Amino acid sequence: MRWTRFVAGETDDGLDYVDAFGEVLVPMVHGDANSPDLQLQVILRRFASAPSGKVDRQGSSSLGVLFSHCGGPGSDAKCGIGMGEGRVVDRDAHGKPAPMGYDVLGVSQRGVEGNSPGLSCPSMTGAGPHLPTHPKTLPPSLAELSGGCECAFVDGAKAGYMFKDIDTYDEAQVRDVYRLTRESNDRCYNASRWRMLGKDGKAAYHFLDYAGTESFVYDLDLLRQALGMRTLSIYGASYGTMAGAVYASVFPDHVDRVVLDGNMFPFPNTIALGMTWPATVSQVVQHLLENCRVTPHCALIDPFAAYDAVLHGCRRGALVSPPTADSSRIVLTNGLMVGYLHTMAAAKACGWKQALLTLALLADESDARVRELGVTRVLDRMCVVAGEPTWRRYAACIDEVMVGKDTDPIMGTAVLALDMTSRLSVEGGVELWRTAKSLYGADVLGHMVGYTASIATWRATPAPVAPFGSSKVAPLVVGNLFDQATSYVLSQKMAAAFPDSSLLTYQGVGHCLEFPSHERPNGRPPDGDPAGSGECDRIVMGYLRTGVLPRTGHTCRLREPIPVPTSDEVQSLARPARRSEK
C-alpha cells in the first residue's frame, strides 16, 4: 500500500475532510507466487469531527472504515467516496453536519478505468470515441468511431446492453444478437493486450480469466490488512451488493456493519438471472401504466391500450424519425421503445412521468409530426455517444455500448461472466428467448436478450462465486418495490441468504434508495418522495450509527404519488410539432 497524495476539501455543508489517494499492489492470481501484480487505485476520506473542526490525520476513526461501492461493475473509487459520504455524515439537532465516525474507503476494482489494464475502449485506445462530421460511410463503421478498439461491437450489432434495438418478437433478429455478440466477445477476449507474463518472464496469464468478483474481494481483504483494520463495514449498491455479499460470505470474521441496497442475484447463474429480467421489466412497465390508469388526471385515458398501440406501430414500421443526414428515417423498434421506458424508470418519479409523456406522443393517432416528436425523444435519450445524439448525423442509432465507452459490455461482461455459471450457444440463446416469450410475452425480452447474449457467449471459463450467505453476518438488506434494475425479489432472496439479516422495503420506484435528503438542493431529493424514502434513509443511517438492526420486514410507505403527465402538459409539448405541420 502506497499513499501518493493528500487533498483537503470541504463538503457542501462546510465540513472539512482530507482525501488520501493511494495505490495497492495485488497479485493477479491470489496464492500464486509467480503471478504478475496489478495496481488498484484507492481513496480514503476522513472527516473533521464538526464543521468548525480540523481533520485529525492520526490513528483510526471511532467506527473504523466503511467500504462503499456504488455498482457497475465499473464504478470507481471516487464514486464510492461520494456515495459513502452521503451515508456517514448525519445531521445534529440544529441541522448541522455530524459525522458518525467512519472513514470512507473507495476502491477502483480490477479493470476500472485508471487501473491497468482498463476494461473500456478509452482505456485501451488512449482516447474517447471519434465522432467525425463526415464519416467514410453512413452509418459509419464501429471501428472508425471506436478508434479501432478490439472490444467495441462488430459492425451490424445493435444498440443496447440491458436492452436491444431490435424487434423483440422476431426470432431472426434475436439470433443475430447472439451471433454478433459472440463474434464481438471472441475478438475482445482474443486481443493480445490481455496476455501478461509472470514474474519468471515465461508463464503466461490471461487478465480476463481473473477479473471476477472473487478475485476482487481477495484484493479488498489485502487492502484491509494493509490499512491495519480488523474489520470493514460495507455499503454496497446495485452490483456493489454483490461485491459486499461475496466479501461478507468469504471473510465473515472481517466485517462489521453491512448494508446491501438494490440487490444482485445471490445464487449466481446466467440463465436464472436472465429469466429474472423479463419479470422485472414487465412489473415496471405494468406499474407505470397502472399508476397512470388509477390517477384521474393522467393524460392517457387507457394507458394499456396506448402501450399496445405503440408496440403495434413499432412492429409495422409506422413510428419513424424525422429525416437523418442521408434523408432516410429511422424506424422505432419495440426493443428500443421499451428500453427507453425502462431507462427512464431509473430516474425516480420524474423519469416515470417523462416516460408517459413520450408514450402519449407516440400514441397520438391524429398527427404524424407529434408521433415523430415522440420518436425523437426516444432517440435523443438512447442513441448518444459522449453526450452527442448520433442518429441524425449517422442515420442509425449508435450508443456508447457499441463503441465500448460504456463499461457495461466489457467490464460488466468480463466480471459477471466469470462470476456466473452457464454458457449458451447461439441456438441455446434463441431457445431461452422462446421459453421467456411463452411466459412473459415478447415485448419485455430485449433486456434479457442483450444481457444474456453478452454474458452467456463470453469466452472465459466461469470461476463462479459461491452462493452468498453466512450465519455469522447480519446485513441490512434494502430493496425498492419497483426497482427497474435489481428486482425486489432479488432483495428478498438476498435476505434469505443471510439468516440473521433484516429486510427493509421502500414502497417506491427507481434504482436503489435516494441519497440522504440533505445531499440535495433545498433539503429535498429531486423528483422523489422525501417522507417515504427519507424514512428508509433514517433507518439505514441509524443502523450504521448504532449497529442495531431494525425489525425485519419494515416497509417505508410511499407518501407522495408518482407524478403523471396531464393532457395540458402533453398538448403543450405537442403544440410546436402541430404548428410546424401547418
> C-alpha distances in angstroms, 198 versus 188, 213, 496, 519?
22, 22, 41, 46
pLDDT at 457 over 80: yes
d(CA 446, CA 548) in angstroms, rounded, equals 42
DSSP per residue, 83-147: HHHHHHEEE-TTS-EEE-S-EEEEE--TBSBTBSSBSSHHHHHSS-----SS-SSSSPPHHHHHT
36 CB-near residues (< 8 Å, 6+ apart): 27, 28, 196, 197, 198, 199, 205
Domains of the chain by residue range: 2-115+211-268+469-556
pLDDT of residue 524: 38
**Residues 336/397, Cβ–Cβ less than 8 Å:** yes
Check: CB of residue 81 under 8 Å from CB of residue 104: yes
How many of the other CB atoms lie within 10 Å of CB of 265?
24
Share of the chain above pLDDT 70, in %: 97
Dihedrals φ, ψ of 480, to 5°? -85, 135
Residue 46: C-alpha distances to residues 17, 88, 461, 496 (Å): 5, 11, 40, 34
Could you tell me the pTM of the whole model? 0.95
**Has residue 516 got a pLDDT over 50?**
no
b (16+ CB within 10 A) / e for 310-324: bbebbbeeebbbeeb
Query: Confidence band (pLDDT; 50, 70, 90) for 364?
Result: very high
Q: Would you state the pLDDT for residue 523?
A: 35
Whether the pLDDT of residue 411 is over 70: the answer is yes
In terms of pLDDT, which residue wins out, 90 or 109?
A: 109
Burial (CB < 10 A; 0-12, 13-18, 19+), residue 576, is: exposed
Displacement of CA 59 from its chain's centroid (Å): 35
Q: Which amino acid is at 5?
A: R
Q: Which of 245, 342, 226 is nearest to 284 (CA)?
A: 342
Q: What local confidence, expressed as pLDDT, does residue 53 receive?
A: 74
Which is it for strands 65-69 and 103-107: parallel, antiparallel or unpaired?
Answer: parallel
Dist. CA 361–CA 353, nearest whole Å: 13
Give the confidence band of 515 by pLDDT, cuts at 50, 70, 90.
Answer: very low
Q: Which of 144, 172, 147, 142 is nearest to 159 (CA)?
A: 142
- Which cell numbers in the block locate residue 370? 407529434
- Residue 525's pLDDT is what? 41
The average pLDDT across 240-268 equals 97
- CA dihedral defined by 246, 250, 256, 258, rounded to 10 degrees? 20
196 beta partners: 205
Distances (CA, A) of 312 to 179, 307, 363, 402: 27, 9, 10, 27
Quick one: fold of 2-115+211-268+469-556? Rossmann fold (3.40.50)
Residues 79/41, Cβ–Cβ less than 8 Å: no
Mean pLDDT calculated for residue range 98-112: 96
554: phi then psi, degrees, rounded to nearest 5? -70, 135
Percent of the chain topping pLDDT 90:
87
**8 A C-beta contact, residue 167 and residue 338:** no
The model's confidence at residue 490, banded by pLDDT at 50, 70 and 90, is very high
For the beta carbon of residue 546, count every other beta carbon within 10 angstroms. Answer: 10
487-512 residues labelled b (16+ CB within 10 A) or e (exposed): bbbbbbbbbebbeebbbbbbbbbbbb
Query: Which one, of 206, 179, 209, 212, lies nearest residue 194 by Cα?
Result: 206
pLDDT confidence of 522, banded at 50, 70, 90?
Answer: very low
Q: Give the pLDDT band of residue 581 (cuts 50, 70, 90).
A: low
Average pLDDT, the chain: 94
Whether 20 contacts 3, CB under 8 Å: yes
